[in-house]
Amino acid sequence: MKKAIVGLIGLGLLGGAVNVMASPESDRQEVIKYFTTKYPNISIEDYVYGALAFDADSKAQYDAIMEFPPYESVLEKGRKMWETPLKSGKKYADCMPNGGRNIAGNYPYFDEKLGKVVTLEDALNACRVANGEEAYKLGDKGTMGTLTAYMRTLSDGMLMNVKVESPKALAAYEDGKKTFYSRAGQLNFACATCHIQNAGVRLRSELLSPVLGQTVHWPVFRGGDNLVTLQSRYQGCFKQVRHVPDKQGSAKFNNLEYFHSYMSNGLPMQASVFRK
C-alpha cells in the first residue's frame, strides 16, 4: 500500500509515505502542523474560507458577495422542503436529533448496526423512506442538494465533530485516507497532490484549496445559484485527473468523505457559501 500513497513534504513524510496506522487525531494534528509551518501567517480558523485564506483580495470580494448572497431563493426552496410534511405527516425534523439543529457537523458517522459510513444525505433519504417517500437521487441539486443546503444552515457555526470510535469505523476511515492519498488516473494525481502538497498554489488562474476546513461549507454555490454537492465535486476531481469516478453514495466516496470531514474537526461550519 505504501507505493500507492503520495509522499509529501511535511506530515513527517519527506520522501516517504503516509503512516496508515496513525490515529485519526494524530493525522489531523500532522495536517495542522504542515499548514501552520508552511503558512505561519494564516490562522487555523481562516481555513474555513478555503482558497480565500491565501488571497486577501478574493476574500474581500467574497465578503461583499455574502452581504447579499445570490442563492437565497434556493435556500428558501430548501426551507419549504424541510417544513413540508412527508406522506406520514411527519417532517424531516421529526427524524433528526434536536430537530435537525446543530447536528450536521457530526456527519458522516459510522453506523455500527449498518456496518458502514452514513452521510447526511443518507440520513435524509432514510427519513424519506421511513415516512413513505421515495429516496432522492444523490447529487440531484434540485432535490437532495437543495434540501441539504438548507439543513446545513441549521448547524451554521457548529464545530465539526466527526468521530472514529471502533475498529470497523477506523477501517472505513483508513479506506477513505487511502483514497485521499493514492495517486490515480492518467495524470497520476491524488487528492493530497492538490489539497495538501500544492494548496495555496495557482492552477491556471485559481488557487488550490487546503484540506483543512474543506468540508465545512458544502454544498457550495458556484458563480451565483449553481449548487454543487461535495460528492459531485469528488466526481469532478476524478474526471479532471482522467480517472473513472465512483458513484455518489458508494462505499469508496462515503469513506473518503468520512476521512475528509475528520480533517476539519474543530472548525465551524459555514453554510451556505459562494464560491467561484
How many domains are there within the chain?
A: 2
Instruction: Say how far apart CA 143 and CA 146 lie, in whole Å.
Output: 5
Same structural domain for residues 172 and 50?
Answer: yes
Same structural domain for residues 108 and 236?
Answer: no
pLDDT at residue number 17: 42
Instruction: Say how far apart CA 109 and CA 258 lie, in whole Å.
Output: 7
Same structural domain for residues 53 and 180?
Answer: yes
- Percent of the chain predicted with pLDDT > 90: 87
Same structural domain for residues 62 and 172?
Answer: yes
Tell me whether residue 237 is one of the annotated catalytic residues. Answer: yes
Instruction: Say how far apart CA 152 and CA 105 lie, in whole Å.
Output: 8
Whether 240 is in a domain gets the answer yes
pLDDT at residue number 203: 85
Whether 37 is in a domain gets the answer yes
Same structural domain for residues 100 and 128?
Answer: yes
Quick: pLDDT tens for 235-258: 999 999 999 999 999 999 999 999
Same structural domain for residues 76 and 138?
Answer: yes
Quick: pLDDT tens for 5-43: 333 433 443 333 445 568 999 999 999 999 999 999 999
Same structural domain for residues 172 and 60?
Answer: yes
Q: Write the CA distances from 215 to 176, 211, 260, integer angstroms.
A: 14, 8, 7
pLDDT at residue number 14: 32
Given a contact cutoff of 8 angstroms between Cβ atoms, the answer to whether 110 and 172 are in contact is yes
pLDDT at residue number 13: 37
pLDDT at residue number 271: 87
Quick: pLDDT tens for 108-117: 999 999 999 9
Catalytic residue selected from 95, 191, 194, 237: 237
Same structural domain for residues 94 and 211?
Answer: no
Q: Write the CA distances from 265 to 104, 140, 212, integer angstroms.
A: 12, 27, 9
Domain span holding position 80 = 72-153
Same structural domain for residues 42 and 76?
Answer: no
Domain end among 100, 124, 153: 153
3-state secondary structure 136-197: CCCCCHHHHHHHHHHHHHCCCCCECCCCCCCHHHHHHHHHHHHHHHECECCCCECHHHHHHH
Domain with 222 in it: what CATH number? 1.10.760.10
Same structural domain for residues 123 and 190?
Answer: no
pLDDT at residue number 12: 40
Regions of the chain where pLDDT drops below 50: 1-18
